[in-house]
Amino acid sequence: MDKDSKGVSLDEFIFRKLQPIRILRGYLNNELELAEGDSIKMSRMDLDNIVSTIEIFLEEYDRVSGFRGRKGHHSDRKKTSFMDAKTQAIKTIA
């Protein structure tokens, strides 16, 4: 793959995928600052959205990294090279 070809670097891909997590962190920090006392009240919908955001990030990471959470021998895991991950990342974004 030459440098002039259209595509996204792995760093850029990871940066994009981390954006929802950064937004979520900001939201949770604001909730903590606004909370009075030791407990925080949050709507069920907000909590569901938080869980969904984390799940989406983890699913994308697992898919791109080639790791499927298999238990057992390390030799059973698919080894993903940088180029494989980059190609997969570009397919995901396109």
Q: 11-58, pLDDT tens digit by residue?
A: 887 888 889 999 999 999 999 999 888 888 889 999 999 999 999 988
Which residue, chain included where needed, has tokens 């030459």?
A: 2
**Cα separation of 77 and 42, whole Å?**
39
**Cα separation of 60 and 53, whole Å?**
11
Q: How confident is the model at residue 77 (pLDDT cuts 50, 70, 90)?
A: very low
Take residue 43 and report the two structure tokens written for it.
Answer: 């709507």
